[in-house]
Amino acid sequence: MTVKPLDGIRVADFSWFGAGPIAGQALATYGAEVVRVESSKRLDSLRVGQPFKLDDEGKPISSYNVSGYFNNFNAGKLSFTLDMNTPKGKELAHRLVVESDVFLTNFTPRVVDRWELGYEQLKQINPRIIAAYAPMQGMEGPHRDFLGFGAVLTPVTGISHLSGFPHRPPIGVGTNYPDYVVNPGHTVTAILAALRYRNRTGKGQMVELPQVESVVNILGTSLLNYLANGVNEGRIGNRHPAAAPHGAFRCADDPTSLGSEDRWVAIACRTDVQWQALCDAFGHSAMATDTKYATLADRKANEDQLEAMVGEWVRELRAEDVAVLLQSRGVPAGVVQNSQDILDKDEHMKARGYYQYLDHSETGRSAYDGPGARLSLTPAGHRAPAPLLGEHTFEVCERVLGLDPDEIGELVAAGILA
């Protein structure tokens, strides 16, 4: 049997939506047993979030178990349905914490308080618990009970201000990027650090990750530019101060591209040598020494005309052909890939075997994101597809909480379990 680095670690996952469950997903991928606590009365909205599995007639299947959004972020977890708004439900939640190594939530402090899951309460029943809290604004402060997710964090942290074109309103980054990468990544790192400390000392501790503070990390040099120079950077579209051309250019349409036929190629010339190679590639060598474009400063001064000209050069060509042509000449270029490209066409992704295909009882064979990092001695991966709602409630009650069948039956009858 393959040993995974987090084998033997149990996580009581009281999170929902994106940032919390994705952190739990990473821990599960590397071997932790993650018990996802859910409610059948108030579902995680991702369970009813598109895209859904379609039936034979092309219509969405009506089920709480067929959301690709939810399933991709919860593979390998155990689904335990519990009514936390009852005294007995809170008692069972505490029993789960006693039997766990890590507690995880991204609910607001108001909900944490109502459910009696604060760190001072949890450490009384399990001094070794690593209790990770990831509310949007932190456990304390005037905005402690503000709630939101990635689409809220991108504007309030300044990302949206930097995203888009200067003559248009801010557009953000097109996805709930903080939920997928920044916050779960920071949360997992902090949990692992706390676990290492516990291994050395036997002491558990609280991990607090205010999502807004986690996300401002990615503003990088824009904050330093303001601090050092008083410059408040704005939107520059696809352009870059140290490169020209630097952007995405429309190529010939591809009728085999599902959903949208338009195709684009990203090009970035950082040096005059790369600019000359680009001009040579398209048979316009004279443009490399044209006084309007010969140097980076020249190209930046005439960037609108430059981009229009490059756009004309590639307009009737396949994006893939443009990328190969420029790459062969040392010019940074790549196809602006869509989901179909990543899953079906990208030969590198296929060769690496990044996506893990799992058989789910309601969605059939589906692709799941693989581990973000590979360990040579303790490889990671999903042990099972995403759980059905409440699929493991009885198992968790018996194996983890030590309840007998009669007790479980009584709890189901009372509506505390589902």
Residue numbers annotated as active site: 179
DSSP 137: S
For the stretch 85-110, what's the b/e string if a residue is b when 16 or more beta carbons lie within 10 angstroms of its beta carbon? eeeebbebbbbbbebbbbbbbbbbbe
Using a CB cutoff of 8 Å and minimum separation of 24, what contacts does 304-311 make? 306/244, 306/245, 307/245, 307/247, 307/249, 310/245, 310/249, 310/267, 310/278, 311/249, 311/250
Cα 259–Cα 267–Cα 284 angle in degrees, nearest 5: 115
Dist CA 394 CA 27 (whole Å):
23
The answer to whether residues 265 and 336 touch, using CB atoms and an 8 Å cutoff, is yes
The answer to whether residues 11 and 25 touch, using CB atoms and an 8 Å cutoff, is no
For the stretch 191-213, what's the b/e string if a residue is b when 16 or more beta carbons lie within 10 angstroms of its beta carbon? bbebbeebeeeeebbbbebbbbe
DSSP 57: T
Q: Helix, strand or coil for residue 80?
A: strand
Dist CA 260 CA 50 (whole Å):
18
Compute how many other C-beta atoms are within 10 angstroms of the C-beta atom of residue 75.
23
Q: Which two tokens stand for residue 253?
A: 């349409």
Phi and psi (nearest 5°) for 244? -170, 130
